[in-house]
Structure 1
Amino acid sequence: MQTSPILESALTCPHCGYVSVVTMPTDACVYFQECTRCKAVFSPKPGDCCVFCSYGSVKCPPVQEACACCGNSVSRPAH
């Protein structure tokens, strides 16, 4: 029996430490996020596919499901 991924994550701003609960998209990675408190824009740490994998309480849905994430070079579409 496969469980559904958790879609809400507590995202912590790496600049000011503010925590906001954000609903993660299931069809795209979030590479940039603006803090609602300090307005700083942050991106994933090297090696992570999205801001949720770097700064969230829950990893992104593709990582939760052990699927290739859009941030991995293997799953990125050729342009």
Structure 2
Amino acid sequence: MVELQLQSAVTCPECGHQSTETMPTTACQFFYECIGCGAMLRPKPGDCCVFCSYGTVPCPPIQQQKPCCG
């Protein structure tokens, strides 16, 4: 069984600022405000959350190969 990673470094596509965040385990995070420039990040088309789009680690449901936010 794979151990879940709950920390993911989110990189802003606007300014490149990176911040390590703790991912929620019970809900997807659809919005994330960049601490560096204030840009509001949203998932890329086809991704379920901002961690899957901009993070170094995908969200917990994806890590477990389960449906995410369905």
TM-score over 0.5 for the pair? yes
Q: TM-score range by the shorter chain?
A: over 0.9
Q: Count residues in correspondence.
A: 70
Deviation at 1:11, TM superposition (A): 0.3
Match of 1:5 in 2: 4
Instruction: Give the TM-score normalised by structure 1.
Output: 0.85
Radius of gyration: which is bigger?
A: 1
Mind listing any 5+ residue stretches in structure 2 that lack a counterpart?
A: none
Match of 2:41 in 1: 42
RMSD: 0.7
Mind listing any 5+ residue stretches in structure 1 that lack a counterpart?
A: none
Counterpart of 1:9, as a letter, is: S
Instruction: Give the TM-score normalised by structure 2.
Output: 0.96
Runs of 4+ in 1 over 3 A off after TM superposition: none
- Identity across the alignment (%): 57
| Higher RCO (CA 8 Å, separation ≥ 6 residues) | 2
